[in-house]
Amino acid sequence: MKRTDYDVIIIGAGPAGIFCALELTRRDSDLNVLILERGVPLENRICPVDQGGSCVNCNPCRNITGWGGAGAFSDGKLTLTTEFGGALADYTGRKELESLIEYCDQWYLHFGAPRKVYGAEPGMDRDLRRRAAAADLIFVPAGIRHLGTDGCLEICRAAYDELAGRVEIATGTTVQQICTAAGEVTGVRTAEGEEFSARYVVAAPGRSGSEWLAGEAGRMGMDVSSGSVDIGVRIELPALVMEEITEAVYESKLLYYSKSFDDRIRTFCMCPHGEVSLENFDGLVTVNGHSYQEATGENTNFALLVSKTFTRPFNEPIRYGRNIASLANMLGGGVLVQRLGDLTAGRRSTPGRLQRGVVKPTLSEATPGDLSLVLPYRHLLGILEMLEAMDTLCPGVNSRHTLLYGVEVKFYSSVIDVDHSLQTQVENLHVAGDGAGITHGLMQSSASGVHVARVILHREGRGR
């Protein structure tokens, strides 16, 4: 990079950052835009575990950083609804968010997303909702466009080609500090000591950068509230158990309120015929899942996450989640896996017990162990309750052979105080995406980037 002054600097090359840049330049705008991403280029995002090796603690983790962000290795579900995927509607209004989702969906189709939408046929989910209600579950219907992990990579590559030459992109560059003066943003400083000035800065560091962003917000004197922290496990079972549902709606969004503590528990990131994967947050190893457009695996996996909102004086939900995940890392050197039957019998799983099980783990890196030594009692009890409820809907879910991987944590708990334009209390400093605690997925993250870009274009007199 030769120049050091820009009109707009975007921190993070995930969905929010990419779609912000797309919108800023879609009409051949003469704005000078710089994207700074701490991870590697897309072609270098190769995880040793996916190649049959072991986690080597890449710094930063190539599964969650780099061009495309965590979304590039996320199984790729576009939820075409305002009902879940974040709280962006609280800032834009529901009608505007519907418009943003439709607009972003057209971009994804332009980049090669499949035309098929699951769960879009009227009335197809009626029986599912009835059966779910009978099991004390709430089914949230939504049209879903499934990209697949392989499809995500191709879409990220197409987006890069679209932006190449129109914006400046610097991967392998970590932003250490957001610079301000007299209540207004002035630019950024990198970990290497480089300084870049800009009239606007859009902070979109994703889930992996949420703790950094919350720290920066606190340093600059912004108001940061503690949102709910989502902690749970990833479930793996035979694909046939869930096939009736996954073939119809692909991902069943199910909510459950525990009888014991009235905690909200939800399914998240269902991966039919997929595999369980690792995420590494600066040395903290957690679990995730993904599947491909051409699904061939024998298992289906999904997360069960318990949402807990803390009250004063506690205000560190990210630290709380990290500490729980670190217990699994301490006991098993990474992610733990346990058969449900072993868990309910009060014993740890062993390699021998796993080998005798019906479900064969797709994550060879997981260590057989005991999740009751890791998860808080109320979290574990709620998860066991929901598995029983789901067994009524899909017999076989609550089998003793079902596998539980832990811990899965979603690090987007700190919510930064912003206005309807997603501008912070520092003038011309905007936030977007999951890292700000506003969105929870590909579609709303993308939409937030477009929303911020339109605000900037309007202020610059370029309109829509």
- Identify the pLDDT of residue 379: 97
268 vs 343, which has greater pLDDT? 343
Let me know if residue 128 belongs to a domain. no
* pLDDT(45) > 60: yes
Positive/negative CA dihedral, 233, 239, 244, 245: positive
Let me know if residue 130 belongs to a domain. no
**Tally of domains in the chain:** 2
* pLDDT(350) > 60: yes
* pLDDT(464) > 60: no
Whether residues 248 and 273 share a domain: the answer is: yes
CATH of the domain at 424: 3.50.50.60
Name residue 227's beta-bridge partners. none
- Identify the pLDDT of residue 440: 86
- Identify the pLDDT of residue 28: 67
377-393 vs 126-134: helix crossing angle, rounded to 10: 130
Average pLDDT over residues 323-339: 95
What is the DSSP secondary structure assignment for residue 168, as one 8-state letter? E
What's the distance, CA 6 to chain centroid?
A: 29
Decide if 238 contacts 44 (C-beta within 8 A): no
The Cβ-side half-sphere exposure at 152, using a 13 Å CA radius, reads 25
Whether residues 211 and 262 share a domain: the answer is: no
Neighbours of 150 (CB within 10 A): 14
Average pLDDT over residues 437-442: 88
Average pLDDT over residues 204-212: 89
Let me know if residue 138 belongs to a domain. no
Average pLDDT over residues 199-226: 90
Confidence of residue 17 (pLDDT cuts 50, 70, 90): very high
Let me know if residue 14 belongs to a domain. yes
* pLDDT(257) > 90: yes
Confidence of residue 414 (pLDDT cuts 50, 70, 90): confident
Whether residues 179 and 287 share a domain: the answer is: no
Predicted TM-score (pTM) of this structure: 0.89
Whether residues 316 and 204 share a domain: the answer is: no
Name residue 236's beta-bridge partners. 301, 403
> pLDDT tens digits, residue range 56-94?
778 888 888 889 988 777 778 899 999 888 899 999 999
Let me know if residue 401 belongs to a domain. yes
Average pLDDT over residues 439-448: 94
Whether residues 275 and 190 share a domain: the answer is: no
Whether residues 379 and 429 share a domain: the answer is: no
Instruction: Tell me which of 175-179, 220-224, 289-293 is least confident.
Output: 289-293
Let me know if residue 132 belongs to a domain. no
**206, 225, 215: which is closest to 415 by C-alpha?**
225
**What residue numbers bound the domain in which 384 lies?**
228-410
Strands 429-431 and 195-203: parallel
- Identify the pLDDT of residue 228: 72
Listing DSSP states for 13-68 in one string gives: -SHHHHHHHHHHHTT-----EEEE-SS--GGG---TTTTTS-----SS-TTTSSTT
* pLDDT(381) > 70: yes
Name residue 279's beta-bridge partners. 286
* pLDDT(34) > 70: yes
**Strand residues in 239-326 grouped as ranges (E):** 254-257, 264-271, 275-281, 284-290, 299-308
Whether residues 174 and 252 share a domain: the answer is: no
* pLDDT(37) > 80: yes
Spatial distance between the Cα atoms of 175 and 386, rounded to a whole number of angstroms: 41
Confidence of residue 258 (pLDDT cuts 50, 70, 90): very high
Spatial distance between the Cα atoms of 68 and 350, rounded to a whole number of angstroms: 37
Confidence of residue 121 (pLDDT cuts 50, 70, 90): low
Confidence of residue 49 (pLDDT cuts 50, 70, 90): confident
- Identify the pLDDT of residue 340: 98
Let me know if residue 379 belongs to a domain. yes
* pLDDT(27) > 80: no
- Identify the pLDDT of residue 389: 98
Among 410, 430, 449, give the residue marking a domain's end.
410
- Identify the pLDDT of residue 75: 77
* pLDDT averaged over every residue in the chain: 91
Instruction: Tell me which of 245-249, 359-363, 421-425 is least confident.
Output: 245-249
- Identify the pLDDT of residue 412: 62
Whether residues 386 and 269 share a domain: the answer is: yes
* pLDDT(314) > 80: no
Whether residues 27 and 114 share a domain: the answer is: yes
- Identify the pLDDT of residue 309: 79
Q: 327 vs 277, 285, 320, 340, CA distance in Å? A: 19, 11, 11, 19
Whether residues 159 and 262 share a domain: the answer is: no
Let me know if residue 136 belongs to a domain. no
Contacts of residue 338, defined as CB under 8 A and 6 or more positions apart, other chains included, come to 348, 349, 368, 369, 370, 371, 403, 404, 406
Whether residues 426 and 282 share a domain: the answer is: no
- Identify the pLDDT of residue 122: 62
Percent of the chain with pLDDT over 90: 67
Whether residues 287 and 346 share a domain: the answer is: yes
Decide if 41 contacts 69 (C-beta within 8 A): no
